[in-house]
Amino acid sequence: MADAPVQTSPKKDTTWIWILAVVLVLCLCCALLVFVAGVLYVRQNGFNPPRLLFPTPSAPTQVPVPPAGTAAPLTVRPYDPGMGQFPTLQNLVPNWQPSTAPGDHTWQLSVSTSQSALVFLGWCAVDQSTLQANYQHLVWSVLVDGTSVPVKSLYVETGPGQQGYCQGYVGLISTWPMGRHEIETTMHLDQSINDGWNSYPAGDYVDRYQVSVMP
């Protein structure tokens, strides 16, 4: 019986493996060249990172508020009790306190354009005779945005108050033009007086109300 011929396995083609190896070697060489070139450039020129430009945030839009006295003028008219009851400027100032000695006091407050408020200039004493004696040495004055308001043209209120006997001049501001306004009231004493409870030295007692008007 003749022996079966020996079958030889066909040789596998490995050419693609060599091609892939050559490509990888070339890529590594290119990467190495780029790295070396970068290192040499940094050594010669230094490293300057790119400047990142971010958009500048825009400032919030604000409605310009005119300085005091540049808005439309205020109208102060005599108060009529039949109009109803309204807060005084003193009521609208947090922690307002009356002056006990000559000097200037500035108060900040905000109102809406439709807020009615009273400009009140008043003095109280222990009784009517003391009040009349005090008023012989007491003079009121009012400036509204720098313009003098005749005090004697305002409503006069006289009678018993929450404490003692009082007399005051009352004006009404029923509308406020937008912006900032300044109302200055002054009590001038030409000599020291006593209201029956305390003594008050001569001089000017100034209250300055800086009003910001909002919509």
- SS3 of the chain: the string is CCCCCCCCCCCCCCHHHHHHHHHHHHHHHHHHHHHHHHHHHHHHHCCCCCCCCCCCCCCCCCCCCCCCCCCCCCCCEECCHHHCCCCEHHHHCCCCCCCCCCEEEEEEEEEECCCCEEEEEEEEECCHHHHHHHHCCEEEEEEECCEEECHHHCEEEEEECCCCEEEEEEEEECCCCCEEEEEEEEEEECCCEECCCCEECCEEEEEEEEEEEEC
29 and 87, same domain (yes or no): no
Lowest mean pLDDT: which of 16-20, 35-39, 100-104, 146-150? 35-39
42 and 132, same domain (yes or no): no
Residue 184: inside a domain: yes
83 and 32, same domain (yes or no): no
Of 7, 28, 47, the position where a domain reaches its end is 47
Structure confidence at residue 37 (pLDDT): 56
201 and 103, same domain (yes or no): yes
Domain that holds residue 199: 77-214
pTM beyond cutoff 0.85: no
Q: Identify the residue with better confidence: 20 or 95.
A: 95
28 and 118, same domain (yes or no): no
Residue 185: inside a domain: yes
Count of structural domains within the chain:
2
34 and 100, same domain (yes or no): no
122 and 203, same domain (yes or no): yes
As to burial, measured by CB atoms within 10 angstroms (0-12 exposed, 13-18 middle, 19+ buried), residue 125 is: buried
Residues in the chain: 215
Residue 7: inside a domain: no
Structure confidence at residue 192 (pLDDT): 98
Lowest mean pLDDT: which of 28-32, 33-37, 146-150? 33-37
Residue 66: inside a domain: no
Rounded percentage of the chain residues whose pLDDT exceeds 70: 67
What mean pLDDT do residues 180-208 have?
Answer: 97
Q: Identify the residue with better confidence: 3 or 114.
A: 114
**Residues 34, 38: Cα–Cα separation, whole Å:** 6
90 and 25, same domain (yes or no): no
What mean pLDDT do residues 86-96 have?
Answer: 94
Q: Identify the residue with better confidence: 63 or 127.
A: 127
131 and 187, same domain (yes or no): yes
What mean pLDDT do residues 66-82 have?
Answer: 74
Average pLDDT, the chain: 80
Structure confidence at residue 57 (pLDDT): 32
pLDDT above 70 (res 69):
no
Of 5, 30, 47, the position where a domain reaches its end is 47
54 pLDDT band (50/70/90 cuts)? Answer: very low
How many Å is the Cα radius of gyration of the chain? 44
Residue 196: inside a domain: yes
